[in-house]
A and B are shown apart, each in its own frame.
Chain A
Amino acid sequence: MSIPPIGMGAQDSAERAKFEGEVTRITEAGNQVGVVLRVLGSLAFHMHCPRLGRLQAEMGRAYTDIDLAAYSHQAKEIRALLTGMGYVENREVFMVSEGNRAIFDNPTKHLHIDVFYEKLDFCHVIRWNGRLEMDSPTIPLAELLLEKMQIVKINEKDVIDTIMLLSEHALGDHDEETINIDLIARLCAADWGLWRTVTMNLDKVRKLAPAYSQLTDDQKNRVVDEVNTALSRIETEPKPMAWRMRARVGDRVQWYKDVEEVG
């Protein structure tokens, strides 16, 4: 019997409900004490896609942990909040990451929390840039899309999350229930490497979406149309000299950081 990749595999509804209930409990507790905690990862996609969130379970997408975005100036308050909720921090991670990341475990509930301070730093850096308050309880939709599209070796669970997001949200120039494609286009125009990975992955999503039998024809067409619109908008954003120069070098020089599996 083969072992499914991380984040893929059957997960019963009680186990899924445990994650969904806990993340709500944590973010609400944060709100009550003025701590900004926003959800990212698979739970965020589920929360922000009320109509199509069921696709995760149908397509074998499993929750493995709770990922949270936060500001580093609130690290002390977050530590106190989560410790008070029964979590134990792995201090070594916070120290080694120079305060960019914190890990908390709940030995009773067998839950694992990853807190990303100020940025997501994997294949590319996606900074919060003071934008966490633009949405709640998740990070803004644009950052959610970038969370997946910045992964160079994108896998099936990332594609599923992206399909959900694109199926349920329009592209636009703001963040209100909308994927701020203008912001994504600006970030891609400022960094050729990010542009290279994002456009590569959008193209992959466009090719893979029609193969999912769980999607209706309308949903498949919607994803393809959204990807086409996103790619078109990214291409029309004016590119500065540094971008154009980097583009000439292209893939000859690695354009991303090597990372392990992004859970």
Chain B
Amino acid sequence: MTQLVRDLMHPGLITCQPGASLGQVAVMLTQHHVHALIVVDRDGRPIGVISDFDLLAGEWLSANEKSLAAMRKMTAGELMTAPIGTIEIDAPAAEAARRMRTEAIHRLLVMEHGRAVGVISISDLMANLAKTIPAHRETVADVMSDAMLVCRDQTPVVAAARAMTDAHYRSVLVVDDRGKPLGVVNGGDLLAACEESDCNGLTVSQVMHPALTIHMTASLREAADLMIQHHHHRVVVIDPAHPDSMPLGIISSFDIVAEMARPGSVWSQDPGEGRAR
């Protein structure tokens, strides 16, 4: 990858105060259509990051009225991840990809002259991939995850949230009794459940979004394009001969970034080296 962080980052910070409630954070994430907010102190200095994944803790731990009340009192400052990983604005973008992969994080705060000036996330790297990747490259089958977190359509939202958190998955595939994909539930979908006064009766079918599907022979560029166009982080890989049967796997934005960061990938080679593979 020849670009620098400054070429791919999202300039500016979408922030919240440490005292913001989880409900307020959920609203801001939804309004700004982002996966995380930078938590800043009174002087505007970043002190942490809170993501849609962090908000899952609200559902995960609200097993009864008492714990729900405790979680409702929690603030962004208490639940945020701190400190935030940072990267210099002129660092290679490949370095950002490598760090996201090795540190299992989704974003880095971009610094310039000691000041936070933006954020670079998996989505930014993926967007770049969609624009620049050569037409003939690795396929979806090369990098997709064969293992999936799957549930039926009547699964309670709380159970899905707990499974996602326990397994460290960012989505659950919803299928019918024959394994046909019906939809996908991710952290963003669960945010809607967080806004409900009582989500105990909610099932995944009420919050899931339609599953984007792709064939395993499709290119990574096609997968990235699909994700970018629909602002989805993952696409369900289906068998073209049996589209209504159990899917073959899932490809996520993280899978693509991991491939970009892989030693020997075209993104890790010097610009002068051949890109055709």
Complex Cα spacing A241 to B104, Å: 10
Q: Are A254 and B54 in contact (CB under 8 A)?
A: no
Q: Are B74 and A249 in contact (CB under 8 A)?
A: yes
Interface assignment of B34: CB less than 8 Å from any CB of chain A: no
Contacts of A254 in B (CB 8 A): 66-67
Contacts of A242 in B (CB 8 A): 165-166, 168
The digit string for B62-77, where 1 denotes a CB below 8 A from any CB of A, is 0000110011011000
Contacts of B60 in A (CB 8 A): 245
- The listed residue (B61, B80, B104) touching A246 by CB distance below 8 A is B61
Q: Are B57 and A245 in contact (CB under 8 A)?
A: yes
Interface assignment of A253: CB less than 8 Å from any CB of chain B: yes
Interface assignment of B79: CB less than 8 Å from any CB of chain A: yes
Q: Are B79 and A249 in contact (CB under 8 A)?
A: yes
Q: Are B79 and A248 in contact (CB under 8 A)?
A: yes
Of chain B, the residue at the smallest CB distance from A248 is: B79
Q: Are B168 and A253 in contact (CB under 8 A)?
A: no
Q: Are B168 and A252 in contact (CB under 8 A)?
A: no
Interface assignment of A240: CB less than 8 Å from any CB of chain B: yes
Interface assignment of B138: CB less than 8 Å from any CB of chain A: no
Chain A at the B interface: mostly helix, strand, loop or mixed? helix
Interface assignment of B78: CB less than 8 Å from any CB of chain A: yes
Question: How far, in Å, is A152 (CB) from chain B's closest CB?
Answer: 16
Q: Given known contacts A240-B168, A242-B166, is B70 in contact with A248 (CB within 8 Å)?
A: no
**Residues of A in contact with B, size category:** 10 to 19
Which of B66, B74, B104 is packed against the most chain A CB atoms within 10 Å? B74
Question: How far, in Å, is B54 (CB) from chain A's closest CB?
Answer: 7
Contacts of B80 in A (CB 8 A): 248
Q: Are B165 and A253 in contact (CB under 8 A)?
A: no
Contacts of A241 in B (CB 8 A): 104, 165, 168
**Which chain B residues numbered 7 to 44 have a C-beta less than 8 Å away from chain A?**
none
Of chain B, the residue at the smallest CB distance from A250 is: B78
Of chain A, the residue at the smallest CB distance from B167 is: A242
Of chain A, the residue at the smallest CB distance from B61 is: A253
Complex Cα spacing A246 to B81, Å: 12
Complex Cα spacing A241 to B54, Å: 10
Residues of A that sit less than 8 Å from B by CB: 240-242, 245-246, 248-249, 252-254
10 tightest Cβ-Cβ pairs between the two chains A and B: A253-B67, A241-B168, A252-B70, A253-B70, A253-B61, A245-B57, A242-B165, A242-B166, A248-B79, A249-B61
Sample of 7 more A-B contacts, CB < 8 Å, known A242-B168, A252-B73, A252-B78: A242-B165, A245-B54, A245-B57, A246-B57, A248-B79, A249-B74, A249-B78
- Residue pairs across A and B with Cβ atoms less than 8 A apart, 11 shown, are A245-B54, A248-B78, A249-B57, A249-B70, A249-B78, A252-B71, A252-B78, A253-B67, A253-B70, A253-B71, A254-B66
